Each structure stands twice: as C-alpha cells, then as structure tokens.
C-alpha cells in the first residue's frame, strides 16, 4: 500500500515538474531545460544521476520538437543552416553522451551544477546585436559559414550530450554570431538542433537501460501542457520579458548552488 502511494505521488510529481519545465521554457525562451535534471533528482526522486540525465534528454527532445512546429509554420526555421549545424552536432551529442555515461554520477552532477550557474549568466547577458543601421536580414552570411556552423554544432552537441540538456543557451547566440540571423530565426532553428541532440543522447542512454520510461512519458505530458500555458503567459507578459529572465536566472543560479552543496557539502 505504501509503495503504491509513493508511486502515485511520484507520477503526479513527474507531471508537475514537467509542466514547470515546459512553462518556464516557453515563458523565458531558454534555460528551462536545465531544470529537468535537478527536478528529477530532488523532487521526483530518481536516485541514479545517469538515469535522471537520460530521462531528461528524452523529455527535452520531445518538447523541443513540439515547440519547433509553430516556429516552422511561422517561417522562423532556417532549415539548411539547421541541417548543417545539426549534422555535426549529432556526432558531438553521441560522443558527449558516451563520455557522460562513464563519468561517476557524483562528479557528473557536480559538473552539471556548474553548468547551471553558467546558464544563469547566459540568460542575463546582452544578446548579440546586428550592426548599427542594418536590418538583420540585410547582412550577408560570412564566406566560411558552413565550417563555422559545423564547428559550433559539434561543440554544442557534445555539451548537450554530456549533460543531457538542450543546449539552446549556446545554440541561439552561436547561430546569431556565425550566421548573422535575427534572434527569432535563431530560436526557431535552434529547436531542431535541441531536439536532435536530445534524441541522440536519449537513444545512447536507452541502449544502456538508463531511461525511466514511465516517468519520461509523464514528464513529457506535463511539459507539453506547461509549454502551452507558458506561451499564453509570455504573450501577456511580453513587456516584462527582461525582468522575467532575471528572476528565472536567479532561480536556476540558486538551484546550481544547492546542487553543489548537496553534492560536495
């Protein structure tokens, strides 16, 4: 009876935590996926660090693909750039996830906590801007664009695979700087990479039995519902987007500090 009750609580927590990740991701435009691993570990109650990362990667991938659809319909996905970026990124994600699987779980979570602190800084740093007086689409891409996209994709994919996160906080500014495209197109295009990197990481972890499938399904369900609510809230709070980014960055910074304390304290 106690086991059934605990399982039910865990299921409800999985839906709720997935909803929180989806809501925050849609509301702030980035960084939300870094909440998945600490929530799975400390709230849902997954005991194994690698299991939490594998489950997180699958949830991040599905939510990224779900969010990709409206961006593609609005014409904000640069498919050719996305394919070049993602092709090498998938290789990076596979290699990164292979390395992540053999790292001791305690040290992996400690490194993840440091990544969370970096994401918090990325969320509030000034976004890359176009040259003064030029609209974003008026700037031609640099001659070495394919090479720059491939190199950026490989690095972003490796980090995403190692930690089981989306990597959008790296992909968006990387696309803007490498390809000189507006932020709305960079966000839309990045979702293709985030989904592909997450799926690659999840596949690799699944081969080793490191995904909790029932929890992943519930987490994804909550994430899709939370993303829908977050998109509605984002439209109503668009004038306060900067303040929301600072608040959310403060939240995940505190989570990163807590994870370091739990791991090494």
Complete DSSP assignment for 12-39: HHHHHHHHHHHHHHHHHSSSGGGGHHHH
Higher pLDDT residue, 206 or 167? Answer: 206
Q: Is 45 left (phi over 0), alpha (psi -120 to 50) or beta?
A: left
Percent of the chain surpassing pLDDT 90: 46
User: With 80 as the cut, is the pLDDT of residue 220 above it?
Assistant: yes
Residue 67: what pLDDT?
82
Question: What's the pLDDT tens digit per position in 61-79?
Answer: 998 898 888 888 888 899 9
Residue 1: what pLDDT?
34
For residue 78, the SS3 value is: coil
171: pLDDT confidence band, cut at 50, 70 and 90? confident
List Cα–Cα distances, 82 to 50, 156, 172, 187, in angstroms: 28, 13, 11, 11
Which residue from 21, 31, 25 is spatially nearest to 167, judged by alpha carbons?
Answer: 31
Q: What is the mean pLDDT of residues 130-136?
A: 47
Domain limits of the chain? 9-264
User: With 70 as the cut, is the pLDDT of residue 31 above it?
Assistant: no
User: With 50 as the cut, is the pLDDT of residue 32 above it?
Assistant: yes
The span from the CA of 242 to the CA of 240, in Å, is: 6
The span from the CA of 47 to the CA of 43, in Å, is: 10
Higher pLDDT residue, 63 or 1? Answer: 63
Look over the chain and give the mean of its residue pLDDT values, rounded to a whole number.
Answer: 84
Residue 127: what pLDDT?
60
Reported pTM: 0.83
Question: What's the pLDDT tens digit per position in 69-107?
Answer: 888 888 889 999 999 999 999 999 999 999 999 999 999
Higher pLDDT residue, 148 or 1? Answer: 148
Which residue from 176, 117, 115, 178 is spatially nearest to 145, judged by alpha carbons?
Answer: 178
């Amino acid at each position: 009876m106690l086991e059934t009750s605990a399982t039910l609580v865990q299921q409800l927590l999985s839906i709720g935590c997935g909803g929180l990740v989806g809501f925050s991701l849609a509301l702030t435009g980035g960084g939300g996926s870094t909440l998945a691993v600490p929530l799975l570990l400390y709230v849902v109650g997954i005991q194994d660090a690698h299991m939490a990362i594998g489950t997180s990667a699958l949830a991040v991938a599905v939510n990224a693909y779900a969010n990709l659809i409206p961006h593609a319909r609005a014409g904000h996905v640069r498919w050719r750039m996305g394919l070049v970026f993602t092709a090498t990124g998938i290789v990076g994600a596979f290699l990164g996830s292979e390395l992540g699987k053999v790292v001791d779980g305690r040290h992996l979570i400690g490194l993840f906590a440091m990544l969370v602190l970096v994401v918090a800084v990325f969320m509030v740093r000034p976004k890359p801007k176009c040259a003064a007086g030029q609209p974003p689409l008026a700037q031609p891409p640099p001659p070495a664009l394919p090479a720059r996209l491939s190199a950026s994709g490989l690095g972003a994919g490796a980090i995403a695979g190692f930690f089981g996160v989306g990597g959008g906080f790296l992909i968006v500014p990387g696309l803007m700087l490498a390809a000189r495209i507006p932020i709305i197109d960079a966000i839309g295009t990045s979702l293709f990479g985030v989904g592909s990197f997450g799926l690659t990481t999840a596949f690799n972890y699944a081969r080793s039995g490191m995904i909790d499938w029932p929890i992943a399904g519930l987490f994804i369900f909550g994430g899709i519902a939370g993303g829908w609510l977050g998109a509605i809230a984002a439209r109503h709070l668009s004038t306060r987007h900067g303040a929301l980014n600072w608040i959310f960055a403060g939240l995940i910074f505190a989570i990163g500090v807590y994870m370091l304390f739990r791991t090494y304290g």
